[in-house]
Amino acid sequence: QVQLVESGGGLVQAGTSLRLSCVASGSTFTNYCMGWFRQAPGKERELVGAINWSGGSTYYEDSLDGRFKISRDNAKNTVYLQMNSLKPEDTAVYYCAADPRMVAVVDGTSDNWGQGTQVTVSS
């Protein structure tokens, strides 16, 4: 099992940027594909995007219009979510997930999840 800890959330104004981090520990980081999800109040959890073990392949939810970017630093056991041009509808708790299989990350069936970090975007 891998332990995941997210950070970087906060209260920001619409139109600004924010970078979330997720640090992994307890297992070999490069064994895992990583993903970011979010859950807004009253809504189901949804995929934001995913990245394979090397960082060479990424997948994003279409509705984000290219505003978000996932990257990873395997030397730091960390995956990042760069969020630009934030909108009030981006307000949610953001979670990272890890799984050896990319398909499990993308479909939300990963066994490994962080505790989440709150992002609130004011208008």
Question: Averaged over 91-115, what is the pLDDT?
Answer: 96
Do residues 51 and 79 touch, judged by C-beta distance below 8 A?
Answer: yes
Residue 68's identity, in one-letter code, is F
pLDDT at 107 over 90: yes
pLDDT at 65: 82
Between strands 68-73 and 92-99, the pairing is: unpaired
Backbone φ, ψ for residue 90 (5° rounding):
-85, -5
Identity of the residue numbered 42: G
Given pLDDT bands bounded at 50, 70 and 90, which one contains residue 63?
confident
Percent of the chain with pLDDT strictly greater than 90:
94
Q: Are strands 33-39 and 46-51 parallel, antiparallel or unpaired?
A: antiparallel
Eight-state DSSP code of residue 77: T
Q: How would you list the strands of the sheet with 78-83, edge to edge?
A: 3-7, 18-25, 78-83, 68-73
Q: What is the mean pLDDT of residues 26-45?
A: 96
Task: State the pLDDT confidence band at 31, using cuts at 50, 70 and 90.
Answer: very high
> Which of the four pLDDT bands, split at 50, 70 and 90, describes residue 64?
confident
